[in-house]
Chain A
Amino acid sequence: MTEIKASMAGSVWKLVANEGDQVSDGQDIAILESMKMEIPIPTETTGTVKELKVSEGDFVNEGDVIAIIE
Chain B
Amino acid sequence: MPTNQTLEERAKKIAAGGGEKYHSKNAEKGKMFVRERLQLLFDEDIDVEDAFFANCQNESLPADGVVTGIGRINGEKVCVMANDSTVKAGSWGARTVEKIIRIQETALKLNLPMLYLVDSAGARITDQVEMFPNRRGAGRIFHNQIKLSGRVPQVCLLFGPSAAGGAYIPAFCDIVVMVDKNASMYLGSPRMAEKVIGEKVTLEEMGGANMHCSVSGCGDVLAKDESDAIAFARNYLSYFPQSYRELPKKTESRQPAPFEKSIEQLIPENQNAPFDMYQLIERLVDDASFCEIKKKFAPELITGLSRIEGRPVGIIANQPRAKGGVLFPDSADKAAKFIQLCDAFNIPLLFLADIPGFMIGTKVERAGIIRHGAKMLSAMSEATVPKISVIVRKAYGAGLYAMAGPAFEPDACLALPTAQIAVMGPEAAVNAVYANKIAALPEEDRPAFIKEKQEEYKENIDIYRLASEMIIDDIVQPNKLREELACRYDAYETKDVIFTERKHGVYPV
Chain A residues at the B interface, C-beta cutoff of 8 Å: 7-9, 34-40, 61-62
Contact = CB atoms under 8 A, between A and B. Distances in A.
Contacts of B325: 37
B359 A35 contact: yes
A47 to B, nearest CB: 21
B356 A36 contact: yes
Interface string B306-339: 0000000000000011111110100000000000
Nearest to A62: B363
A37 B363 contact: no
B190 interface: no
Nearest to A37: B324
A37 B428 contact: no
B227 to A, nearest CB: 26
B215 to A, nearest CB: 13
A38 B274 CA distance: 6
B360 A37 contact: no
A61 B366 CA distance: 14
If over half of A's interface residues share one DSSP class (helix, strand or loop), that class is named, otherwise mixed; here it is loop
Nearest to A61: B363
Interface of B: 272-274, 320-326, 328, 356-357, 359-361, 363, 425, 427-428
A61 B362 CA distance: 10
Given A7-B323, A8-B323, A35 B274 contact: no
B273 A39 contact: no
Given A7-B322, A39-B324, 20 more contacts: A8-B328, A8-B359, A9-B361, A9-B363, A34-B324, A34-B326, A35-B326, A35-B357, A35-B360, A36-B356, A36-B427, A36-B428, A37-B272, A37-B320, A37-B325, A37-B356, A38-B273, A40-B274, A61-B363, A62-B363
Contacts, number: 41
A37 B354 CA distance: 11
If over half of B's interface residues share one DSSP class (helix, strand or loop), that class is named, otherwise mixed; here it is loop
5 contacts: A34-B324, A36-B427, A37-B356, A39-B323, A40-B321
Nearest to A40: B274
Contacts of B357: 35
Contacts of A36: 272, 356, 425, 427-428
Contacts of A37: 272, 274, 320, 324-326, 356
A13 to B, nearest CB: 10
A20 B359 CA distance: 34
A57 to B, nearest CB: 18
B410 to A, nearest CB: 24
B363 A35 contact: no
Chain B CB count within 10 A is highest, among A9, A34, A39, A40, for A39
A61 B363 CA distance: 9
Nearest to A7: B323
Contacts of A38: 272-274, 324
The 6 A-B residue pairs with the shortest CB-CB distance in the complex, in nearest-first order: A37-B324, A35-B356, A8-B323, A39-B324, A35-B326, A9-B361
Contacts of B326: 8, 34-35, 37
Contacts of A7: 322-323
Contacts of A40: 274, 321
Chain B CB count within 10 A is highest, among A9, A34, A37, A61, for A37
A61 B272 CA distance: 20
B429 to A, nearest CB: 10
Contacts of B428: 36
Contacts of B321: 40
A61 B322 CA distance: 16
Contacts of B273: 38
Contact of B324 (A35, A61, A62): A35
A40 B321 CA distance: 7
A29 to B, nearest CB: 14
A39 B274 CA distance: 7
Chain A CB count within 10 A is highest, among B273, B321, B323, for B323
A7 B360 CA distance: 14
A34 B363 CA distance: 14
A8 B428 CA distance: 19
A9 B363 CA distance: 9
Contacts of A8: 323-324, 326, 328, 359
A7 B330 CA distance: 13
A17 B356 CA distance: 27
Contacts of B320: 37
Contacts of B427: 36
Chain B CB count within 10 A is highest, among A8, A34, A36, A40, for A36
Contacts of A62: 363
A40 B272 CA distance: 11
A37 B275 CA distance: 11
A20 B273 CA distance: 27
A10 B273 CA distance: 15
Nearest to A35: B356
Contacts of B328: 8
Chain B CB count within 10 A is highest, among A7, A8, A9, A40, for A8
